[in-house]
Amino acid sequence: MDNAGGHKQTSATEAALEKKRISFRFLPPNSTDLCQPADANVIQQLKRVWKEQWEKEKFYLRLAAK
């Protein structure tokens, strides 16, 4: 797993994972593109599309709030 902020574990999730005998190994920082070069491009494109969609959604939410 990479070191993205959303992948940090809380003590509650750590306890639940330990109970189920699940462990994670994190990639070294800034190494996703080296370990998963194809994924890096796919992820970049997904982030671009998601950002565009989120910006449109925010626009419509602002209109609805007026």
Tell me the average confidence (pLDDT) per consecutive run of 10 residues in the chain, 66 residues long: 68 85 80 72 88 92 86
**Measuring CA to CA, how many Å separate 54 from each of 42, 43, 47, 58, 66?**
18, 16, 10, 6, 19
Tens digit of each residue's pLDDT (9 = 90 or more) over 30-47: 777 777 776 777 888 999
Q: Domain coordinates of the chain in residue numbers?
A: 1-32, 36-66
Q: Measure the CA–CA gap between 50 and 43, rounded to whole angstroms.
A: 10
Q: Is the pTM of this model over 0.85?
A: no
